[in-house]
């Protein structure tokens, strides 16, 4: 088993490389489960439904005038079909297998928040929702 | 399909490109019936002139003159942007012998620099 210390994740949102701005990053790829259980069945019958992609991340607030986080997430909030690419452990050009390959989808920034308690390092949180990749 | 596995054709996220060039050719396989070729581009820093990125396929890793096809041409960009190309199928990539793929980039004005990341997947 090739376990890995999580320290080289990458996140690209449209024209922004926000990898160094994040300290937490998660990709959730799932399928909605529908219940098609009928009378007479002895078990719950699940049917795979629509696929869902969601990215959540957080990091330390960049207070510079050219902050990419504010520019990106404030600017792209709610805008459809932004290009999102993530890598769990660095980038290796030409790699069609792990490690080095990534995951990409069209997404929309659905949440951008910042805040913390007094005296702490200011942090931000983001959520990006997938919109499929077909069209 | 909700997400694609991204195989990077050109990683210029650290060192910018400043001249027109072809990337390394990679054997990623042909596009077969039922499959689609997905590709996307991130322009992470830019100059005023504009950068055009293409994804090309060939049956040989040498990409000899006249022996490759430009399958994707992203819109020329002179600012930060992400682009997702229309997926291609066997209706577009008609030969499964084209299993080698590379990125090609063209700077409008030599000497300008661009940071970029482009990737594709066949699935």
The CATH number covering residue B88 comes to 2.60.120.1110
- Distance of alpha carbon B16 from alpha carbon B48, whole angstroms: 15
Domain ranges, residue B104: 7-122
Tell me, yes or no, whether B1 lies in a domain.
no
The number of domains in chain B is 1
Query: Is the per-residue pLDDT at B108 higher than 90?
Result: no
Query: Is the per-residue pLDDT at B47 higher than 80?
Result: no
Mutation for testing the A interface, residue in B2, B87, B114 having most A CBs under 10 Å: B2
What is the pTM for the complete model shown?
Answer: 0.95
* Phi, psi (rounded to 5 degrees) for A118: -60, 135
- Distance of alpha carbon A48 from alpha carbon A39, whole angstroms: 20
Residue A113 confidence (pLDDT): 97
Q: Which residues of chain A approach chain B closer than 8 Å at the C-beta?
A: 10, 12-17, 29, 51-53, 81-85, 87, 91-96, 100-106, 130, 132-135
Q: Class of A13-35+45-130 per CATH?
A: mainly beta
Query: Is the per-residue pLDDT at A135 higher than 80?
Result: no
Average pLDDT over residues B27-51: 93
Tell me, yes or no, whether B109 lies in a domain.
yes
Average pLDDT over residues B12-16: 95
Q: Where are the domains of chain A?
A: 13-35+45-130
């Amino acid at each position: 088993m090739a376990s890995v210390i999580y320290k080289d994740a990458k996140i690209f949102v449209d024209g922004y490389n926000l990898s160094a701005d994040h300290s937490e990053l998660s990709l959730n790829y799932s399928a909605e489960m529908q219940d098609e259980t009928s009378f007479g069945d002895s078990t719950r019958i699940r049917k795979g439904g629509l696929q869902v992609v969601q990215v959540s991340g957080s990091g330390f607030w960049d207070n510079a005038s050219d902050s990419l986080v504010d520019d990106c997430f404030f600017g792209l909030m709610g805008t459809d079909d932004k290009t999102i690419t993530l890598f769990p452990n660095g980038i290796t050009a030409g790699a069609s297998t792990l490690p080095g390959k990534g995951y990409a989808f069209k997404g929309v920034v659905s949440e951008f928040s910042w805040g913390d308690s007094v005296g702490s390092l200011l942090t931000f949180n983001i959520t990006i929702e997938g919109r499929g990749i077909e069209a | 399909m909700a997400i694609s596995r991204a195989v990077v054709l050109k990683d210029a996220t650290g060192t910018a490109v400043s001249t027109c060039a072809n990337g390394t050719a990679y054997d990623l396989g042909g596009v077969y019936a039922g499959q689609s070729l997905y590709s996307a581009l991130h322009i992470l820093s830019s100059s005023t002139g504009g950068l055009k990125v293409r994804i090309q396929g060939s049956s040989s890793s040498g990409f000899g003159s006249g022996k490759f096809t430009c399958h994707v041409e992203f819109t020329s960009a002179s600012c930060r942007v992400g682009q997702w190309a229309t997926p291609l199928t066997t209706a577009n990539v008609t030969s499964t012998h084209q299993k080698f793929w590379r990125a090609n980039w063209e700077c409008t004005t030599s000497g300008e620099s661009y940071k970029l990341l482009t990737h594709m997947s066949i699935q």
